[in-house]
Structure 1
Amino acid sequence: MAAQATFKSIKSLVPLFDRVLVQRFKPETKTASGIFLPTSATNNPLPEATVIAVGPGAPNKNGDIVPVSVKAGDRVLLPNWGGSSFKVGEEEYFLFKDAEILAKIKE
Structure 2
Amino acid sequence: MQVKPLQDRVVIKRLDEETKTAGGIIIPDNHAEKPVQGEVVEVGPGYRNQDGSFAALTVKKGDKVIFGKYAGTEVKVAGQEYLIMKEDDIFGILQ
TM bracket, shorter-chain basis? 0.7 to 0.9
For 1:51, the equivalent position in structure 2 comes to 40
The two structures have a TM-score, normalised by structure 2, of 0.81
* Identity within the alignment, %: 34
Shift of 1:30: 5.5
Contact 2:40 2:65 in 1 (8 A): yes
Letter in 2 for 1:38: P
Unaligned 5+ residue runs, structure 2?
Answer: none
The two structures have a TM-score, normalised by structure 1, of 0.73
Residue 16 of structure 1, aligned match among 6, 31, 38: 6
- Classify the secondary structure of the residue corresponding to 1:103: strand
For 1:96, the equivalent position in structure 2 comes to 85
Unaligned 5+ residue runs, structure 1?
Answer: 1-10
When you count strand as a share of all residues, which structure comes out higher?
2
Shift of 1:55: 0.4
- State which drifts further: 86-95 or 73-82: 86-95
Give CA deviations for 1:36-67 in whole Å, capped at 9, x if unaligned: 422476437x7000000000111012212111
Residue 72 of structure 1, aligned match among 42, 56, 61: 61
Letter in 1 for 2:38: A
Alignment size in residue pairs: 93
- 1:29 aligned onto 2:23: no
Letter in 2 for 1:17: Q
RMSD: 2.5
Q: Distance in 2 between matches of 1:90 and 1:37?
A: 25
